[in-house]
Amino acid sequence: MKQSRVYVAYTGGTVGMTRTAEGYAPAPGLLDRLMREVPQLGETPVPAFDVHEYPELLDSANMRPEDWNYIAADIAAHYAAYDGFVVLHGTDTMAYTAAALSFMLEGLDKPVVVTGSQIPLCEPRNDARDNLIDALIVAGHHRIPEVCLAFNGRVLRGNRAVKLKSAGLGAFESPNFPPLAELGIDIVVYRERVLAPARTPFRMQRCGSAPVAALRLFPGIPAEFLRHIVQPPLAGLVLECYGAGNGPVRDTAFLDVLRAATDRGVVIVDVSQCLQGSVNLDSYAAGSALARAGVIGGYDMTVEAALTKLLYLFELGLSPDDVKREMQRDLRGELTRPE
């Protein structure tokens, strides 16, 4: 393998935490010391790497869009000097950050691998060591020119990943797209699944200032509750619907609220509450009525991908109609349109 160098952006998360009286918490300087005590991190095939510890180490429950902008700008500032990038991150909002970065890092032709752990590296038995090693090897030696998420021996497309388990080591799944790579006895990269390197120059696009929200439907949801959600200045809403994209269309007041909001220019994207499968608003009358109210289908996008994509598209200054069009177009492998 050629000599390569990886930039590690350490944002916080369980991987570098230590025990405190209040529970696990980030500890400045601890991760660097612990990593120097792991002999495998200095051996082949682990590439050379530089760790940049962020000034404020976050539990990822505190992550906000401005933090995504900070991470993306950090990668952009070091993009020319490194062969790949690893983002060390807490697991709670890791799927949101991976999805956001996939849209924000335009023209990507190097790996950006997001990882972390369920057990801190300071513990004798942990998953942090293997996740770190896997992420570094993928970032340094395997040409996967997209934002991906490496966890528990698998590499998932970042904007397809969801956190499925709060306690298990296999915390993440990609319900509607198979893994990009698996790291077992051998490292297997499924090249036919990996996006081609971008043909446009790399650039970083900020996101996160538009007022958007996500709302999960539940039986009996009042139309008045929805009305409060879609009031100005809301620009976009991810509506988590039932099954193939269905909603409570017997409630005409509910439909009226949706119609009034979309007529004002609010972009409402229908995604499924089911982990697997795709939204098809033509399948049932309970879905087609939503479409007539101006709601658009998000196909098989995750909530994380749909929300961060809305933030990205509005930041580009697009009109609501253009945002609707782009939401239904595959930009970074985040959705599959039916044939």
Q: Which two tokens stand for residue 190?
A: 């499924």
Query: Identity (one letter) of the amino acid at 21?
Result: A
Which residues contribute to the annotated binding site for substrate?
60, 91-92
Q: Count of CB atoms within 10 A of residue 94's CB?
A: 28
pLDDT of residue 90: 97
According to CATH, what is the number of the domain 5-204? 3.40.50.1170
Among 11, 14, 302, 308, which one carries the catalytic annotation?
14
302 flagged as catalytic: no
Told to judge if 20 belongs to the known catalytic residues of this protein, a careful annotator would answer: no
Q: Give CA 192 to chain center in angstroms.
A: 21
Chunked in runs of 10, what are the mean pLDDT values of the chain (339 residues)?
88 95 92 94 94 96 97 98 98 98 98 98 96 98 97 98 96 98 97 94 94 98 97 98 95 97 98 96 86 97 98 97 98 93
- Between CA 279 and CA 113 the distance in angstroms is 29
pLDDT at res. 2: 61
Give the burial class of 149: count Cβ atoms within 10 A of its Cβ; 0-12 exposed, 13-18 middle, 19 or more buried.
Answer: buried
Give which of 304, 68, 330, 20 is closest to 175, Cα–Cα.
304
In sequence order, which residues have a C-beta less than 8 Å from that of residue 317 and are 6 or more positions away?
Answer: none
Domain boundaries, the chain: 5-204, 212-327
Instruction: Give CA–CA dist 165/47, Å, rounded.
Output: 30
Nearest to 156 by CA among 305, 291, 18, 330: 305
Phi, psi of 96, deg, nearest 5: -65, -45
pLDDT, tens digit, 9 for 90 and up, residues 220-266 = 999 999 999 999 999 999 999 999 999 999 999 999 999 999 999 99
Does residue 70 sit in helix, strand or coil?
A: helix
CATH class held by domain 212-327: alpha beta
Output the known binding site: 60, 91-92
3-class SS of residue 286: helix
Read off the tokens for 80. 């020319």
Q: Please pick, among 11, 91, 262, 302, the residue that the annotation labels catalytic.
A: 91
